[in-house]
Amino acid sequence: MQALPRRGFAGITAPMKKIALVICCFALLGACGSSKVKVNSGPAAVQTAPRSEPIFYNGKTYQLDYNYIEGQGAFDMKVSGLSPKQQQDAVNIATSGLSYFACPDGQRGKLIGMPVYVSKKWTAYAKCG
């Protein structure tokens, strides 16, 4: 019984690899052309619906409530569960929550002015940008 020479065996597989690669390329190109996925390339919209969300921050849960103010193009943000000395925490919760729930991808929540502590809640105005 004669065995195939080593050189001949390698010569047989090289064209097979090329054929397999060409078949895979055609399969991928064919899948792209028949896709039903629609891609939106226009500008993303800010989510203006009012929300009330529990926010877990630094090991505790706080309450974030916000409404969109149409005339100002800004959000009225209220963070409860914080003390009067936790202004920076209120800023972090408000801007992070706005970025996550309302701003389009790639935009962050930004405060307009400084937050104010009234009736056991931090109140601030913010917008996406």
Alpha helix segments (H runs only) across 1-129 = 6-33, 87-101
The confidence score (pLDDT) of residue 57 equals 94
pLDDT at residue 2 tops 80: no
Q: How many helices (H) and strands (E) does the chain have?
A: 2, 5
Measured in degrees and rounded to the nearest 5, phi and psi for residue 115 equal -70, 155
The predicted model scores a pTM of 0.65
Q: Residue 41's pLDDT band (boundaries 50, 70, 90)?
A: low
pLDDT tens track for 68-99: 999 999 999 999 999 999 999 999 999 999 99
